[in-house]
Amino acid sequence: MKRIIIATAGIAVGALALAGCSSGGNSSGDGVAEDGSLTLTLSGWSVDTTPEFQLLADAYHEKNPDVTVEITDYDPTDYNTLVTADLAAGKGPDIITQKEVKYVTTFQEGGQLLDVSDVELPEGIGGVESYEVDGTAYAVPYRQDSWVLYYNQALFDQAGVDYPDGSWTWDDYDAAAEELTSALDGAKGTFQHSWQSTLQGFANSQNDADILAGDYGYMKPYYERVLALQDDGAQESFNTVTANQLTYQGEFGKQKAAMLPMGSWFVATLIAQQSAGEADDFEWGIAPIPQLDDSTTGTDATPVTFGDPTGFGINANINEDKVDAAKDFLAFAASEEAATDLAEIGITPALLTDPVVEAYFAVEGSPQDELSSFAVQTHETRPENPTSNKTAAVQNILNDMHSAILSESQGVDDAIAEAEERVANEVGLD
């Protein structure tokens, strides 16, 4: 399944939606006309509900009328597999969107990405290191999601619980979840989605841990506290979430949970769903994610969280006559101008300057309080996935561990020990 979408002159700003997770592909000819005009193909996914690709394509075309950007719309479920197959067959798009950092080395080791170290990037842009292998850059970030805490102000008011104020540790979060659950009629204090990221991402980043080191004992306290929340009924159990296929959008958007740890991409989704009536109409806010201890709490400190960038790389087999234009597109996508355009539709860009943040919170339906602004722009965002050819294998093992612990089919200590043994034997870390 492939669709080619040509850059046109407008984007519906109302098409706010999720971004940063999945895709599908297509091919094009050389794409260079005798008059010097050319066509660049760009891989994307779920283009109908992920407006960032068309926005960037249109904005670049407007600045460079001789360059048309066609989006190859891949199926989101098998994006990396489909793009890899197209590249191997010599028919991949010119510009390859890097959906997941853990697959960067797959493309790089396959000789499928061009060296883009000479693309000039603005100072302060995030996520650059995630695309570097042995000092060479193989992609450029254009967005950088970070995990924050969403909270329903109406449910907090109803329960008589104080809003998050930026000073919370996980102990404070747990206590609030328990108090909210006790005071609310049917709604849970919080919702944790089933992904391993929702726990392991925080454990890794806040302990400054390296999953390629093969030692995962530091995750134990995080699992113990989440198991306690499940057992006390302060959040839905992992088994209920998976068996009933509960979505974080539905649980928070329909006010079944008062809090939600989730990536910053959810801002655009929630605004869009409230506007369309797919989510309830209620006031909400964003707070920094709770911290391991109080050394990184408070608005005079920098909270530690996690998140991977999304970036653009260039097909190593691109027509050489299109290389300069492709690199220019990458530079544009990373620029403050493009970042502002992305912010205006609720996407979190890799570059967060004052004008970009102002545009982000100017979107109708976004929260307007100071803490929300602080949470979005102030954080140390550590990568979820190290740039390594061993990352995917390790993450698969850690996902098995995650499911075993939260389903309570295996004890925390036993599951961690088994994961450490599997990583040592199956991945063979140095």
Contacts of 404 (CB under 8 A, 6+ apart): 410, 415, 418
Angle CA 247–249–253, to nearest 5:
125
Q: Where are the domains of the chain?
A: 3-145+308-351, 147-305
pLDDT of residue 19 exceeding 90, the answer is no
Q: How far is CA 24 from the centre of its chain?
A: 18
Least confident of 245-254, 291-300, 385-394: 385-394
List the one residue out of 108, 105, 142, 149 whose CA is nearest residue 125. Answer: 142
List the one residue out of 362, 359, 340 whose CA is nearest residue 350. Answer: 340
Top-level class of domain 3-145+308-351: alpha beta
- CATH code, 147-305: 3.40.190.10
**37, amino acid identity:** S
Phi and psi dihedrals of 357, rounded to 5? -65, -40
pLDDT of residue 20 exceeding 80, the answer is no
Distance separating alpha carbons of residues 251 and 192, to the nearest angstrom: 10
pLDDT of residue 231 exceeding 90, the answer is yes
Q: How many CB atoms lie within 10 A of CB 283?
A: 14
Same fold yes or no, 3-145+308-351 and 147-305 = yes
- pLDDT score at 30: 75
Q: How far is CA 351 from the centre of its chain?
A: 15
pTM of the model: 0.84
Burial grade of 206 (CB within 10 A; 0-12, 13-18, 19 or more): buried
Distance separating alpha carbons of residues 148 and 188, to the nearest angstrom: 18
Q: What is the DSSP string of 233-299?
A: TSS--HHHHHHTT--HHHHHHTTSBSEEEEETTHHHHHHHHHHHTSS----EEEEPPPBSSGGG-ST
- pLDDT score at 321: 96
Model confidence pLDDT, tens digit, residues 325-355: 999 999 999 999 999 999 998 889 999 999 9
- pLDDT score at 292: 97
- pLDDT score at 8: 38
Termini Cα distance of the chain: 40
Distance separating alpha carbons of residues 327 and 95, to the nearest angstrom: 9
Strands 136-137 and 309-314: unpaired
